Chain A
Amino acid sequence: MPLFVRFWGVRGSIPTPGRTTQRFGGNTSCIEVRADDTLLILDGGTGMRELGIDLLARGDAPIVAHLLFSHMHWDHIQGFPFFLPAYQPKNRCVIYGAQQDDTRFHHLLSGQMRSAYFPVSFTELRANIISASMEAGEVEIEGVKVRCLEQPHPGVSYAYSLEKDGKKIVYATDSELDMLLPDSAQPDANPNDIRGLPQTFIDFVQDADLLVADGQYTDDEYPRHRGWGHPRATTVVDLAVLAKVKMLAVHHHDPMQTDADVDAKVEACRARAQSFGSDLFVFGAREGIELRI
């Protein structure tokens, strides 16, 4: 059975509505993955609001949503209080922690609904909302094998690998891969050389059919934002090439980037992949598109 991946929010840091971001979209991270009847939701940025509306429009059957969060920064959780299925008692949301007995995500998610921040209390959500956790970074969710990997980001973030029936999708956002380079001067000194990355990261994304990865900055933008938790998009290309990924969706577009800027960033990524003789297919993650993997 195929996996379906639908992008509901692809913007980094803060929502960016407006004409200049209309094509790629202004909502922050939220991606829907469906495997048969199993629904997994990767991050709860502002795109999660429209996902919730769409889920309700699909029919009256109870919704079971498995929620996997990269981390709890605002742009990855702000859509949850507007996720309408969470207000209906027939539905169920399972919030996964990245470690054993890890309920941090559940608590932080409910914390953003304290009265100082939001008018509706978490206790008013009528769905059955429960915590689950991974053991040794792994869990099986209705036949989908899920693994997670800690990533370099202020406060730490997690990448997720989803595998079923020989298909593999990796979601790896908010990960400053450039901080992992053994020689941080290499990209400037030898920009055309492929950048060495830790084997752990290569193994994690190895042979993925689709890698959805943080590619927030262009090479020109990155030096001004070093340490902010996001990589050069071109470094993500190198990871994908080294791991023989088939398709790379450059995700988490910087809020300052217009549609034309994202086009140019993606074009630079394609050129880099081609320069290594790779047949990696690169595209810009875009709100509203759905892939069949």
Chain B
Amino acid sequence: MYDTIQDMNPPTELTAIPVLPSPSIARPHVLQPVSGPLLPMLIELREDALIVGRATETDIQIPSSTLSRQHMRLERRHDGYRAVDLGSVNGIHLNGIRVHSAVLRDGDILQLGDAVFMYHEGR
């Protein structure tokens, strides 16, 4: 038998727990070359807009004759990046589909000439 309500419901004991990592720590979106000239780099995407191409003045230069000088623009959106073809000769292919533009999703395969990337969403 219990004498009091307190006996029935003993007070909660506070114990120390490990500090959990903050969910607000940002991890950038990444282009991972899977074949082509930029292997084995990892390209972290941090800018609002990036130009990818063969020319030296691009943000991401890919030294390959299969790319146009300014081949693709990457634009940051609220939910990641959008790739836009800048009128390149060989185009951009998303998972094998030639697209003019595309919002990238985790695990997408993006091909520009002989450069092939996997896109990893950050958070």
- Check B105 for interface membership: any CB of A closer than 8 A: yes
Contacts of A4 in B (CB 8 A): 100
Chain A residues near B58 (CB-CB < 8 A): none
How many angstroms between the C-alpha atoms of A288 and B95 in the bound complex?
14
Tell whether, in the assembled complex, residue A290 and residue B99 are in contact, meaning their CB atoms are under 8 Å apart: yes
Is A291 within 8 A of B105, CB to CB? no
A289 touches B105 (CB 8 A): no
Q: How many residues of B contact A (CB 8 A)?
A: 15
A248 to B23: give the CA distance in the assembly, Å. Answer: 41
Q: Which residues of A contact B100 (CB under 8 A)?
A: 4, 290-292
Please, how many angstroms separate the alpha-carbon atoms of A290 and B91 in the complex? 13
Q: Do A288 and B102 touch across chains, with their CB atoms under 8 A apart? A: yes
* Majority secondary structure, B binding face: strand
User: Is A22 interfacial (CB-CB < 8 Å)?
Assistant: yes
Question: Contact between A288 and B97 (Cβ–Cβ < 8 Å)?
Answer: no
Closest residue of B by beta carbon distance from A287: B103
Which residues of B are found within 8 Å of A6, using beta-carbon distances? 101
Q: CB-CB < 8 A to A226: which residues of B?
A: none
Q: Which residue of A lies closest to B84 (CB)?
A: A290
Q: Which residues from 232 to 290 on chain A have a C-beta closer than 8 Å to any C-beta of chain B?
A: 283, 287-290
Contact status A22-B105, CB under 8 Å: yes
CB A106 to nearest CB in B, in angstroms, measures 32
In the complex, what distance in Å separates the CA atom of A22 from the CA atom of B106? Answer: 9
- Chain A residues with CB under 8 Å of B62's CB are none
Q: CB within 8 A of A23: which of B96, B97, B105?
A: B105
Q: Which residues of B contact A22 (CB under 8 A)?
A: 105-106
A-B contacts, 7 listed (Cβ < 8 Å): A4-B100, A6-B101, A22-B106, A23-B107, A23-B108, A288-B103, A290-B100
Instruction: Mark B residues whose CB is within 8 Å of A.
Output: 82, 85, 94, 96-103, 105-108
Measured CB to CB, the residues of A under 8 A from B are 4, 6, 22-23, 283, 287-292
